Amino acid sequence: MKQILLKNGFIVTMAEGHETVYDGGSVLVEDGNIKAVGRIDPKTVAPDAEIMDLNGKYVLPGFVNTHVHTSQQISRGVGDDVDFVTWLHKRMWPFESSMTEEDSYISTLATCLEMIKTGVTSFAEPGGQFVSGMCRAVAKSGLRAKLAKSVMDCGEGLPAVWQRTMEEELEQQVLDLEKYHNTADGRVQVWFGLRTIFNNTDGLCVKTKELADKYGVGIHMHVAEAKEEKEYTYARWGEGTVQHLESLGILSPNLLAVHTVWLTDEEIALFKKRDVKVSHNPASAMRVLGFARIPKMLSEGICLSIGTDGASSSNHMDMVDEMWLTSLIHKGWRLDPTVVPSQDILRMATRWGARALLDDKLYGSLESGKKADLIVIDPQGPSMMPVNDKIAALVTAMHSENITCSMCDGKWLMKDRKILTLDEDAILAEGTARAAAIYKRAGIELPIRFPVVKISREKKLF
Ligand SMILES: [Zn+2]
């Protein structure tokens, strides 16, 4: 029996039904699970328990990032200041289609580094090409993940290597699922993916739903993402993406719909009726997609969560930044500073995120019997101190640098900002080298924004 006691902290439980905060409280972890929260009976603490005195630091459930493209991590910068079609056809598709399985592995490790440092303990990946590479990386990192393949069986301009039939795409996903689902002590799970309505036939959507139900897993899909998508679906079917998915029977509690920017009132009502889960990605939406109707969805009681999207579209794989953006952008476009309050944003980033991943029984809150997935926050420092409204400060003032420790499945992933499961320097060096090689292979040239003069070391005078 291995026990860890975190004592004398500000424990924000996010527990379903009461959301109690314990000031001066403790969390007792035993064999990967939370045994007790709040006031701990000393008799229940084993003499050989590891004890951490929090000295007033905060403890929160680990954040759940419900949409992050791990294969795009080493492409970072590839999409800066370009339009959507250029980004997709001239930058992102050439980059991702030039990646190897090992590139995907290293890129996923690099994403895991950033996620651990920014408080994430669980995430959902919508699809690189190599589920095997992603699985290896997640297993090593100590994080939890729902991994999916990027699935496309139609659409214009796809790289040759990605032109596949419905049968091929389904077969590959079933193979991945049977091989990798519930590996790494159950931390790694495999879901089905649907890329977008542009790249998925109706037949594929229907079969995917059947298989997801058969295996009891979720479906991860970009839905009503861009204005172009809305124009396309209305021209083709006379209805929006969500209405079309309803007509196919896809809308259901195991659908994780990402972005969901261009929804009508009727489509929001359909989400509510079918208990569809939503991943809100404010940074990438701000770049090119538009404003998702989060205040309306909140008032309708839809299960909302937060994602960072990929480094090629938002650069920051940082849930703390995404929470802060979520707290700002809706107030701005609604001209109403009371909408989307901090406590709702914390719910989105923790318990509701776990629910979106169909895991709310397992994690997302600090409660006895749940998995020990948690983070420690030290508010000390000029950017967060003084802390007056403690709960709001976690959204409006905290920076990811305030997150000092992270635990997943009862194991420490980071202590005092040092990652314990991965070699940070080696991964970043390898990721940098592989990124340069892929840019070259894919023939991607970035603009020269300022003239650069290279000065060699030998000739440098001082
Ligand atoms: Zn995405």
- The predicted pLDDT at position 462 comes to 57
C-alpha to C-alpha distance for 339 and 341, rounded to whole angstroms: 6
- The predicted pLDDT at position 425 comes to 98
C-alpha to C-alpha distance for 307 and 320, rounded to whole angstroms: 11
Mean pLDDT calculated for residue range 145-166? 90
Report whether pLDDT(202) > 70.
Answer: yes
Span 2-56, pLDDT tens digits? 999 999 999 999 999 999 999 999 999 999 999 999 999 999 999 999 999 999 9
- The predicted pLDDT at position 165 comes to 94
| CA 352 to ligand 1 centroid distance, Å | 19
Q: Contact at 8 Å (CB) between 358 and 25?
A: no
**Residue-wise burial string across 394-418, b where 16 or more C-beta atoms lie within 10 A, e elsewhere:** bbebbebebbbbbbbbbbbbbeeee
- The predicted pLDDT at position 129 comes to 87
Report whether pLDDT(191) > 60.
Answer: yes
Structure tokens belonging to residue 374: 């948690």
- The predicted pLDDT at position 162 comes to 87
Q: Where are the domains of the chain?
A: 3-61+365-419, 63-356
Span 302-345, pLDDT tens digits? 999 999 999 998 999 999 999 999 999 999 999 999 999 999 99
**Residue-wise burial string across 154-181, b where 16 or more C-beta atoms lie within 10 A, e elsewhere:** beeebeeebebebeebbeebeebbeebb
Q: What is the pTM of this model?
A: 0.97
- Of 175, 152, 172, 286, whose CA–CA distance to 222 is shortest? 152
Span 410-434, pLDDT tens digits? 999 999 999 999 999 999 999 999 9
| CA 177 to ligand 1 centroid distance, Å | 21
Least confident of 32-46, 253-267, 286-300: 286-300
- % pLDDT > 70, the chain: 99
- The predicted pLDDT at position 461 comes to 61
- The predicted pLDDT at position 159 comes to 85
Report whether pLDDT(248) > 70.
Answer: yes
Span 123-152, pLDDT tens digits? 999 988 899 999 999 999 999 999 999 999
SS3 assignment for the chain: CCEEEEEEEEEECCCCCCCCEEEEEEEEEECCEEEEEECCCHHHCCCCCEEEECCCCEEEECEEECCCCHHHHHHCCCCCCCCHHHHHHHHHHHHHHCCCHHHHHHHHHHHHHHHHHCCEEEEEEEEECCHHHHHHHHHHHCCEEEEEECCCCCCCCCCHHHCCCHHHHHHHHHHHHHHHCCECCCCEEECEEECCCCCCCHHHHHHHHHHHHHHCCCEEEEECCCHHHHHHHHHHHCCCHHHHHHHHCCCCCCEEEEECCCCCHHHHHHHHHHCCEEEECHHHHHHHHCCCCHHHHHHHCCCEEECCCCCCCCCCCCHHHHHHHHHHHHHHHHCCCCCCCHHHHHHHHCHHHHHHCCCCCCCCCCCCCCECCEEEECCCCCCCCCCCCHHHHHHHCCCHHHEEEEEECCEEEEECCEECCCCHHHHHHHHHHHHHHHHHHHCCCCCCCCCCCCCCCCCCCC
- The predicted pLDDT at position 460 comes to 61
CATH code of the domain occupying 63-356: 3.20.20.140
| CA 290 to ligand 1 centroid distance, Å | 14
- The predicted pLDDT at position 416 comes to 98
- The predicted pLDDT at position 296 comes to 98
Judge if 3-61+365-419 and 63-356 fold alike in CATH terms.
no
Query: 1: pLDDT confidence band, cut at 50, 70 and 90?
Result: confident
The CATH number corresponding to 3-61+365-419 among 3.40.50.2300, 2.30.40.10, 3.40.50.300, 3.20.20.330 equals 2.30.40.10
Query: 83: pLDDT confidence band, cut at 50, 70 and 90?
Result: confident
| CA 193 to ligand 1 centroid distance, Å | 11
| CA 288 to ligand 1 centroid distance, Å | 13
Angle at 164 between CA 433 and CA 69, to 5 degrees: 40
Q: Contact at 8 Å (CB) between 367 and 37?
A: yes
* Residue 346 backbone dihedrals phi, psi, to 5 degrees: -65, -40
| CA 126 to ligand 1 centroid distance, Å | 6
Span 84-118, pLDDT tens digits? 888 888 999 999 999 999 999 999 999 999 999 99
- The predicted pLDDT at position 38 comes to 98
| CA 333 to ligand 1 centroid distance, Å | 23
| CA 402 to ligand 1 centroid distance, Å | 27
| CA 222 to ligand 1 centroid distance, Å | 6
